[in-house]
Amino acid sequence: MGDSRDPKIAGSSERILIPGTGIELPVDFDLSRRDMLKIAGYGSLAAFIAACGGTTPTTTSGSVTAKGGSMSIGSYLSDAVPKKGLQDVVDAFTSANGGTKVKVNTVDHGTFQNTINNYLQATPEDIFTWFSGHRMRFFAKKGLAQPIDDVWNDVKSNFTEGFAASVKGDDGHVYAVPTSYYPWAIFYRKDVFTAGNYKIPTNWDDFIKLCQQMKKDNLIPMAFADKDGWPAMGTFDILNLRMNGYDFHVGLCGGQQKWTDPKVANVFKKWAELTPYYSPAFAGLTWQEAAQQLRQKKAGMYLLGLFVSEQFVSGGNADDINQLDFFPFPDLGTQYDSEKALDAPIDVYMLAKKSPTLGTDSGQAKAFLEFMSKGSSQITYWKASPGAIPTANDADPSQYPALTKKAAQIVSGAKRITQFFDRDSRPDFSGPNAMQGFLLRYLSSPKQDTSSLQGQMQSFWDSLTPE
Amino acid sequence: MATSITPAREDSPEAGELAPTRRGRYNVLTRYDRRVLMLMVGIPLLLEIIFIWWPTLSSILLSFTNYDGVGDVGPQNFVGLKNYQFMFSGYTLFWPAFFHNVIWLAWLAFIATPIGIFFAVLLDRELRGTAFYQSVFFLPVVLSLVIVGFIWELQFSPTEGFFNNAFGLTKANNIIDWLGNPRINLFAILIAASWRHVGYIMVIYLSGLKSVDPTLREAAKVDGANEFRTFFRVIFPVMAPINTVVAVITTIEALRAFDIAFIVNQGKNGLELLSILITNNSISEASLVGFGSAIAVILLVISLGPIIVFLSRVMRTTS
């Protein structure tokens, strides 16, 4: 692929061919005929869509933005590092946009996520930080997010088609500006691999052999931690993508495929070949503790997102981060290996439709979204918070360290990209007393016959109210 | 009907005067008195209705819906008993959570509370340094259960925690996964909960013991009863009101168990509790408000048991 980064996000059984690129792009996997019927059922939503159709402003770049004035952002960037990143961008925006006053309301990340429903219905800020994928489309569908087609028309030339697809709602309107993303891959320390004379495994057999060798060498072959519940989903995602393909995976997350499918059983069987090499007592470890096992050379490899680097930076030893490297998940010898699919969640900024101030601040808020779409702004954020990669085409990659460059590369090499299980599926299905709990139960004895567990997953899905 | 035997009305001339009521008693309340009474009863009643009855009834109502927390509840949201049906037959976490609450109650009732009472009895014997021991055992009580959860989470951490390191289990690679193994993690957090509960019960019981008439003990001693008999035959029965309080506290603590399990892993993987299922289903991003309310209604029904027992006791002693 010519472009350095060309992620294609969120997809479906239906595809469209992007003219001139030869890329088949999956679109809106949620928007099945059944879903259309469901949407029709939401009277208020129909009215909402109609309203949008009538009032979408014209798309000349001067008219959608405004200078000066004020606006507000509801942010879940509560960790010190990304919080500073946002503040840097906001400061730059204020001076570039005629002194627009920006009020940033930072809420603890987990709390923000858990209370998002109420937040968006009460008195949200003009702009809020969020994720792409199902979770973005959900709020768009509920009429809690404001479409930003006008902003997108101004900035879309700065994004690849993959990113463009990732910010579209089920109704075809654009609801978000993508600002950063990061891939999931297998991380390792270069010095550990050199010392042990280990080779990067490209297929499953080599991978398992490498695990055996590391075990002999008294290393934990695969660091793994699932106290938080979500990390196991990363392994499920990648195995399912490689064994059953992208279409099946998004179908499974979206409810079009069944959890009782023997294909899912095969994923669990394959997974059981890997679990003997996991960190001992992984169900009681946090991802940070497992990352420390990797950093302290107690563990050989770790399947996680690029954010694992935070733990290498915070250790204080500069050599740690230089030794950190990663490789893509090995091939499993299926027809889907060529998809090179992986999880690469995208972070976005959206407009909260119910914001009481959005009426007056609309121009400033849209100006901020356009500002966030610039490569230079994203680089400002990235410099303060390097755990995620800028999305804009004009973000200058020359400043990236090797790890970031490689991360951008692995994503551009992937033909299919998913957002991570809890962003691709319904939040009520992926929570701690749902999928996270099911996966932990599987992991408590991976060799078990999973048919009853799969039955429980499916019956839980069936019990959920259609969205 | 003659005015003289109806309760005095405000506009009646004899309001405020001694007017015999239907029961033959005399109404001694002036108009002013009744206004004050109405305010004194009305305001708490209003608050009670707004903050207790309204949410309770809403929960019960919501439990028959599939409401997802967005917009208003409409007739199309009502799904009958579907939530209850699924909870009892389809939702695999309901019964484990229910039994975890039962185990919690049993643990507190048969282990933690008796230990607390035992400590109270020991400290009541005017040992040297009683005050010191009292403060040591009482110290955890001033911490919120969330803090208790954080503290014990660190102690139980598989690789970094105190237990595995102190017993040399990390070196021997025999790591015990205190919080991750669904067979033992409930008991691990019960230890943490007991750490606080024991001190709580101890203080309550100790204050009760202090108020027991010392002549009772002397009389028992004179009669030749040993310490054991004295406590179980004399002191314990005398302490009946305190015993009720302790029993109720223990039950309430078991029913409202939430904080520690939620801090440890959001209540999954063996730490499911009813309160946590309610939170994770209805308050979290999942927003299954209807289903969460159905679980809440079940918890309410269970809670009514000890509440009724407690209230009937209180009413009986006061009347």
Q: Is the Cβ pair B285, A431 closer than 8 Å? A: yes
Question: What is the model's pLDDT at position A135?
Answer: 82
Size of interface A-B (CB pairs under 8 A): 125
- Res A467: pLDDT: 66
Tens of pLDDT, residue by residue over A40-51, are: 333 333 333 333
In a domain, A258, yes or no: yes
The mean pLDDT value of chain A amounts to 84
B109 and B252 together in one domain: yes
Q: Tell me the two tokens of residue A138.
A: 């959900």
Residues lower than pLDDT 50 in chain B: 1-17
pLDDT tens digits, one per residue of A175-206: 999 999 999 999 999 999 999 999 999 999 99
Instruction: Report phi then psi at B164, rounded to 5.
Output: -65, -35
Residue A112's closest chain B neighbor by CA? B285
Cβ B182–A444 below 8 Å, yes or no? yes
Give the highest mean pLDDT range of A128-137, A261-270, B27-36, B132-141. A261-270
- CB-based contact A44 B71, cutoff 8 Å: yes
Per-residue pLDDT, A7 = 38
CB A391 within 8 A of CB A9: no
In this structure, which amino acid lies at residue A184? W
ipTM: 0.75
How far, in Å, CA of A178 to CA of A411, rounded? 15
Sign for the CA dihedral angle at A407, A409, A410, A411 comes to positive
| Domain-located, residue B296 | yes
Please indicate, yes or no, whether residues B35 and B122 belong to a single structural domain of this protein: no
Note whether residue B105 is domain-resident. yes
- Is residue A231 included in any domain, yes or no? yes
Of B158, B281, B286, the CB nearest to A281: B158
- CB nearest to A432's CB, from B69, B86, B267: B267
Å between B54 CA and nearest CA of chain A: 19
Q: Give B68→chain A minimum CA distance, Å.
A: 8
| Interval A206-222: pLDDT, tens | 999 999 999 999 999 99
Query: Does residue B235 belong to any structural domain of this protein?
Result: yes
Judged by CB atoms closer than 8 Å, whether chains meet at A434 and B286 is answered as yes
Q: What percent of chain A has pLDDT over 90?
A: 54
Residue A18's SS3 state is: strand
Q: In 3-state terms, chain A is what percent helix, strand and coil (to 5)?
A: 50, 15, 35
Residue B26 pLDDT: 62
Task: Give the largest CA-CA distance in chain A.
Answer: 67
Residue A144 and residue B70: Cβ atoms within 8 Å?
yes
Residues A351, A379, single domain; the answer is: yes
A176 backbone dihedrals φ, ψ, rounded to 5°: -155, 160
Pairwise pLDDT comparison (A1 vs A121), residue with the higher score: A121
Helix, coil or strand: residue A343? strand
Instruction: Please give the tally of structural domains in chain A.
Output: 2
Residue B184 is encoded by which pair of tokens? 């033992």
For A376, the domain range is 15-182+346-394
Do the beta carbons of residue A316 and residue A260 sit within 8 Å?
A: no
CATH code for the domain in which residue A386 is found: 3.40.190.10
Number of structural domains, chain B?
A: 2
* SS3 assignment, position A320: helix
Alpha carbon A28 to chain centroid distance?
Answer: 16
Same domain, B104 and B49: no
8 Å CB contact of B157 and A284? yes
Q: How many CB atoms lie within 10 A of CB B301?
A: 9
Angle at B193 between CA A279 and CA A228, to 5 degrees: 30
Are B148 and B190 members of one domain? yes
Q: End-to-end CA distance of chain A: give it in Å, rounded.
A: 37
**From A114, A142, A456, residue closest to B285, measured CB to CB:** A114
Find residues 256-285 of chain A whose CB sits inside 8 Å of chain B. Answer: 280-285
- Asked whether the beta carbons of residue A281 and residue B177 sit closer than 8 angstroms, the reply is yes
- Nearest-CA distance from B291 to chain A in Å? 9
SS3 for chain B is CCHHHCCCCCCCCCCCCCEECCCCCEECCCHHHHHHHHHHHHHHHHHHHHHHHHHHHHHHHHCCECCCCCCCCCHHHECCCHHHHHHHHHCCCHHHHHHHHHHHHHHHHHHHHHHHHHHHHHHCCCCCCHHHHHHHHHHHHHCCHHHHHHHHHHHHCCCCCHHHHHCCCCCCCCCCCCCCCCCCHHHHHHHHHHHHHHHHHHHHHHHHHHCCCHHHHHHHHHCCCCHHHHHHHHHHHHCHHHHHHHHHHHHHHHHCCCHHHHHHHCCCCCCCCHHHHHHHHHHCCCCCHHHHHHHHHHHHHHHHHHHHHHHHHHHHHHC
Do B133 and B259 fall into the same domain?
yes
Pair B252, B159 in one domain? yes
Q: Do A281 and B287 touch (CB under 8 A)?
A: no
Gap between the Cα atoms of B295 and B276, Å rounded: 10
* A265 & A331 share domain: yes
pLDDT of B25: 58
For residue A466, CA distances in Å to A42, A255, A427, A461, B66 come to 12, 10, 13, 9, 9
**What is the model's pLDDT at position A6?**
36
Out of A228, A280, A427, whose CB is closest to B175?
A: A280
Task: Give B286 to chain A, closest Cα distance, Å.
Answer: 4
The answer to whether the CB of A362 falls within 8 A of the CB of A348 is no
Determine contact: B153 vs chain A, CB below 8 A: no
Note whether B13 and B114 are same-domain residues: no
Distance, CA of B206 to CA of B213 (rounded, Å): 14
Within-domain flag for B294: yes
Kindly give, in sequence order, each residue whose CB lies less than 8 Å from that of residue A263, ignoring residues fewer than 6 positions away.
Answer: A243, A244, A248
Task: For chain B, say whether A446 makes contact (Cβ under 8 Å).
Answer: no
Residue A409 lies in a domain: no
Q: E strand or H helix at A349, and its extent?
A: strand A346-352
The answer to whether the CB of A148 falls within 8 A of the CB of A167 is no
- Mark whether A333 and A446 lie in a shared domain: yes
Q: Could you say which of A142, A281, A432 has the minimum Cβ distance to residue B180?
A: A281
Residue B28 lies in domain: 3-62
Domain identity same for A303 and A366:
no
Whether residue B158 is found in the same domain as residue B247: yes
Measured between CB atoms, which of B66, B173, B181 is closest to A283? Answer: B181
pLDDT given for residue B53 in this prediction: 94
- Top residue of B160, B284, B293, B295 to mutate, by most chain A CBs within 10 Å, is B284
DSSP character string of A85-101? HHHHHHHHHHHHTTS-E
